[in-house]
Amino acid sequence: MKRVLVLGCGLVGGPIAVDLSKHENIHVTVMDKDTVALGRVHDRTHGAVETIKTDFEYCAVLSKICKEFDLVICAVPGQLGTSVLKSVIPSGTSIVDISFSPESPFDLEELALKHHVAVIVDCGVAPGLSNLLIGRALEDFGSLESATIYVGGLPVDRVFPMEYRAPFSPADVLEEYTRPVHKVVGGEHLSTSPLANVELRHFPGVGTLEAFETDGLRTLVKLPIPNMVEKTLRYPGHVKQLEFLKSLGFFGKDPVIDDSGSWIVPFELTAALLKKAWRVNPTDRDLTVMEVRVVAGDSSLKERVRTYRLLDYYDERTQTSSMARTTGYVATAVASYLLAGLPDLVGIVPLEFIGGHQVAYLYIMNYLVSRGIVVTEVNE
C-alpha cells in the first residue's frame, strides 16, 4: 500500500484526493486548515481519505510529517508554493506540484538534487498538459519552429458583467493578469506586459473567444524552440474590463493610505472583492478549452503542423468541475506513474521532459482517457 499526502483541499486539491482514493493500492491523507473542505472529501470517499486539520503554512514539522509518505502532492495557492516545497524537499519524499508559484522552479534544483528528490513541477493543464504535449511533439519532429498555447477555463453560462468564475484562487488568477509575460520570439527571450496582443479566435464547440498573452510557458522557455507564447482564453470583452481596473490602480501591490489613515494593498483588496464576484456556485457548470499548435523545424516535412485540442466539461456524474478534472487528473496521472515505480527521476522535472519519453507519455494520456479527458491530435 502506497501512502500519498495531499497538501491543500481546495477546488483542485479535493478532487485530487478523491481521485487517488479510487486506487486500491493507495492510501490518501489530505491536509488543510479548512474543516468544511476536509469534511466534503471525507464524505465523498466514505471515510477512505484520512484528513488532518492544520495550517501547514506555519507547520514547523512538515518535513518530518512528509517522511512518512511515499509521495506528496502540493496543491496550495501559488503564493505559498515555493515556501511549502522548501519545507517538503528535505523530507526525501518525491513531489508532484500544481501550485504555479511566481518563482522559477529551477531555483530549487540544488535542494532537490541534494536530497535526491524528484519534484514534478507545474502539473496542471497549462502549464502541465501543454508542456507534456510539446515535449512529445519535439521528440516526434526532432525540432520545432514554433509552439503556441491557447487555454482557458470558462463558465458554460455567461453571466454579466465579467462572464467569468474562478475555478481556483482568485489571487492566482490575478497573478496571471499582472505577472510579466515570458515568451520567445525569433530565438530571443522577451519579457513583456500581460494582457497584450489580443486576438479573437474561433474554437470548435465553444465559439469565438478572446486570447491574450499570459505567463504560462514557465519551464518551456528553456527548450530550443525559437518562437513560443501562451495565451489565455476568455469570452470577448474581458480584457477591456481588466485594463479598466488596472488603469485605476486596482492591481497595484504597493500599500496606499485611505482617508482614515489605514494602509490598503489594492491587489489584495481586489482579490478579496473578486473572490465573491467570481465565486463558483453549486449550480455553476464550467468548461476547459485548450489548443496547442506546433510547427516542425524541418520545412521539408509533408505534414509539418500538429494541433492538439482539448474540450472538457463539468462532470455531472462525479460533480467535479472541468478545471479540477483537467488540472487535478494530470497531477494524479503523474502521481500514479511515479508510484508505479517506472521512472528513475531526480531534481526539478518539468512535464516536457516526461513527454519526450513514449512510455511515460502514453501512460499519462491513457490515464486521462480513463477519466474522460480526451486530447485529439491533427497533423497538417
User: Where among 251, 282, 313 does a domain terminate?
Assistant: 313
Cα–Cα nearest to 103, from 122, 90, 125: 122
Q: Are residues 160 and 21 in the same domain?
A: no
Domain containing residue 95: CATH number: 3.40.50.720
In the chain, what is the greatest distance between 2 CA atoms, to the nearest angstrom?
A: 68
Structural domain ending residue among the three candidates 287, 313, 339: 313
Domain of residue 193 covers: 129-313
Query: Do 33 and 137 sit in the same domain of this protein?
Result: no
At 342 the pLDDT is 73
Q: Is the pLDDT of residue 79 over 90?
A: no
Same domain, 87 and 209: no
Considering the domain boundaries, does residue 263 fall inside one? yes
Based on the domain organization, do 80 and 162 belong to the same domain?
no
pLDDT score recorded for residue 77: 87
- What average pLDDT does range 95-122 have in this prediction? 94
pLDDT band at 260 (very low <50, low <70, confident <90, very high): confident
List, in sequence order, every residue forming a beta bridge with 307; answer none if it has no partner: 293, 378
DSSP string, 294-324: EEES-TT-SS-EEEEEEEEE-BTTTTB-HHH
Q: How many domains does the chain have?
A: 2
Residue 128 has pLDDT above 80, yes or no: yes
Rounded distance, CA 164 to CA 206, Å? Answer: 15
pTM for the full predicted model? 0.94
Contacts of 43 (CB under 8 A, 6+ apart): none
Residue 286 reports pLDDT greater than 90: yes
Quick one: pLDDT at residue 172? 85
Please, which contacts does 160-163 make with residues 24 or more away whose CB atoms are closer than 8 Å?
161/241, 162/238, 162/241, 162/277, 162/278, 163/234, 163/235, 163/237, 163/238
304 with 216, same domain: the answer is yes
Asked, for residue 353, whether it belongs to a domain, the answer is: no
Same domain, 143 and 257: yes
| 237/105 same-domain check | no
Together in a domain, 139 and 280: yes
Tens-digit pLDDT profile for residues 183-213: 999 999 999 999 999 999 999 999 999 999 9
Q: Confidence band (pLDDT; 50, 70, 90) for 309? A: very high
Which of 293, 313, 333 is a domain's end point? 313
In the chain, what are the helix, strand and coil shares in percent, each to the nearest 5? 35, 30, 35
Q: What is the pLDDT of residues 319-350, one digit of tens each?
A: 999 999 999 999 999 999 999 987 789 999 99
Q: What is the pLDDT of residue 341?
A: 82
The answer to whether residue 299 sits within a structural domain is yes
Q: Please indicate, yes or no, if residue 329 is contained in any of the structural domains.
A: no
Task: Note whether 102 and 86 are same-domain residues.
Answer: yes
Average pLDDT rounded to a whole number, residues 44-55: 93
In a domain, 334, yes or no: no
The reported pLDDT for the residue numbered 56 is: 74
Residues 194 and 277 reside in one and the same domain: yes
Q: What is the pLDDT of residue 100?
A: 84
Examine residue 283 and state whether it is found in any structural domain, yes or no.
Answer: yes
Q: Are 375 and 308 in contact (CB under 8 A)?
A: yes
Residue 51 has pLDDT above 80, yes or no: yes
Q: Are residues 231 and 307 in the same domain?
A: yes
Q: Is the pLDDT of residue 60 over 80?
A: no
Q: Let me know if residue 279 belongs to a domain.
A: yes
Specify the CATH number for the domain of residue 223: 3.30.360.10
Query: Would residue 85 count as lying in a domain?
Result: yes
Q: Look at residue 195 in the predicted model and tell me its pLDDT.
A: 92
| Residues 228 and 93 both lie in one domain | no
What does the chain come to in residues? 380
Q: What is the rounded distance in angstroms from the CA atom of residue 291 to the CA atom of residue 305?
A: 13
Q: How confident is the model at residue 133 (pLDDT cuts 50, 70, 90)?
A: very high
